[in-house]
């Protein structure tokens, strides 16, 4: 009797396993089909963007990669001749700097405005600082080693606001941000950069004038430029758009920019992107925003994962970097006049 019970038990167990396998096979097939379909969609969408009939999409995509910190990612997909066709405007694209600057020494309006920026494609904010003499360049305290976050620079200087500023040399793509790119001046002190050659400069004079152009260091001294970084291109010159649609847009990404109205007010612009509150903006988008808000002069700052805008102990435009704030070499910070 006992052997018959054991045999029956074994048969029952086998039938259960067979039924379980029958149930799991359709689920496995569905999952496999779903994975294959997702792979197909990704590959076909990529191929359509890279080689399809959508010229604007292709130009935006290539420009976005070529102006990132990893331009070699696009090289396997196109010949050198094709990439040259889509090469975007250089960050040093700006006029020879003028040696005449406005004088805003009499401005004594300590107001700060926050203007939200929102479209279907991107979102961000414009911080308008009425007294331009409050805006200065801050530099990482770990110069030539690692950078600092914008919020640390602002809080360390007792400031009220800040935005990322110039580019930096990124050794081996590690994003340490300790070495500023080009000429750097902070509160009248020379920090780094070649003093003998023309550099693309975005700077602020002792009397609060924003200058955007190519300068040598000795010319900046004559202009009494007390704060400066190297980046670009120019966006607005003499109240007119500097970039043309044919110049290329650098693609769509998080963006930072600085501008000045004729009344002296400094405008700090940050736009989110890469899926964080929007896709991002082009340089032409930033140029248009600056013009809409009365910019007389404006220049593009470092963007991408460096972009953020910090005000009164919080981010009004948070970093698009999924890892949080990036370590950068420089920032434009705004002095807190209420501080003792």
Residues 69-119: tens digit of each pLDDT: 566 566 676 666 666 555 667 778 899 998 899 999 999 999 999 999 999
Q: CA-CA distance, 83 to 77, in Å (whole number)?
A: 9
- Shared domain for 77 and 153, answered yes or no, is no
Residue 155 · residue 336 · CB < 8 Å: no
- Shared domain for 26 and 153, answered yes or no, is no
Structural domain includes residue 30: yes
Say how many C-beta atoms besides its own lie within 10 A of residue 96's C-beta.
10
Find the domain containing 130 and state its range: 112-335
For residue 46, pLDDT over 60 is answered with no
- Shared domain for 73 and 169, answered yes or no, is no
Which is higher by pLDDT, 340 or 169?
A: 169
Structural domain includes residue 105: no
- Shared domain for 61 and 121, answered yes or no, is no
pLDDT-above-90 percentage for the chain? 59
- Shared domain for 128 and 27, answered yes or no, is no
Say how many C-beta atoms besides its own lie within 10 A of residue 318's C-beta.
17
Confidence of residue 5 (pLDDT cuts 50, 70, 90): very low
For residue 10, pLDDT over 50 is answered with no
Q: Considering its fold, how many domains does the chain have in total?
A: 2
Structural domain includes residue 340: no
Least confident span in 36-45, 187-196, 320-329? 36-45
Structural domain includes residue 106: no
DSSP structure class, residue 172: G
Residue 139 · residue 180 · CB < 8 Å: yes
Residue 310 · residue 151 · CB < 8 Å: yes
Q: CA-CA distance, 41 to 274, in Å (whole number)?
A: 20
Residue 191 · residue 225 · CB < 8 Å: no
Which is higher by pLDDT, 60 or 225?
A: 225
- Shared domain for 170 and 218, answered yes or no, is yes
Comparing CA positions, the residue from 65, 202, 207 lying closest to residue 131 is 207
pTM above 0.85, yes or no: no
């Amino acid at each position: 009797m006992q052997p018959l019970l054991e045999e029956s038990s074994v048969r029952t167990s086998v039938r259960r396993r067979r039924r379980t396998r029958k149930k799991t096979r359709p689920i496995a097939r569905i999952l496999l089909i779903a994975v294959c379909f997702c792979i197909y969609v990704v590959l076909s969408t990529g191929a359509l963007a890279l080689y399809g009939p959508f010229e604007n999409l292709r130009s935006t995509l290539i420009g976005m990669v070529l102006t990132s910190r990893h331009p070699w990612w696009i090289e396997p997909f196109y010949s050198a001749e094709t990439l040259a066709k889509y090469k975007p405007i250089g960050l040093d694209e700006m006029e020879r700097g003028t040696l005449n600057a406005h004088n805003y020494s009499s401005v004594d309006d300590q107001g700060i405005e926050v203007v939200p920026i929102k479209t279907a494609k991107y979102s961000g904010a414009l911080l308008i600082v009425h007294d331009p003499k409050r805006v200065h360049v801050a530099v990482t305290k770990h110069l030539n080693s690692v950078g600092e976050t914008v919020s640390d620079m602002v809080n360390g200087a007792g400031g009220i606001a800040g935005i990322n500023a110039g580019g930096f040399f990124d050794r081996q793509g590690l994003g340490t941000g300790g070495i500023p790119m080009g000429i750097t001046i902070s509160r009248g002190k020379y920090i780094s950069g070649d003093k003998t050659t023309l550099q693309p400069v975005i700077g602020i004079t002792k009397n609060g004038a924003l200058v955007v152009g190519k300068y040598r260091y000795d010319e900046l001294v004559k202009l009494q430029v007390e704060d400066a970084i190297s980046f670009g291109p120019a966006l607005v010159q003499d109240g007119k758009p500097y970039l043309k649609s044919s110049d290329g847009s650098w693609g769509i990404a998080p963006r930072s920019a600085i501008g000045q109205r004729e009344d002296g007010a400094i405008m700090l612009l940050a736009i989110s992107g890469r899926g964080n509150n929007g896709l991002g903006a082009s340089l032409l988008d930033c140029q248009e925003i600056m013009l809409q808000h009365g910019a007389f002069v404006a220049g593009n700052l470092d963007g991408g994962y460096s972009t953020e805008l910090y005000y009164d102990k919080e981010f009004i435009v948070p970093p698009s970097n999924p890892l949080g704030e990036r370590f950068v070499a420089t920032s434009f910070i705004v002095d807190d006049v209420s501080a003792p």
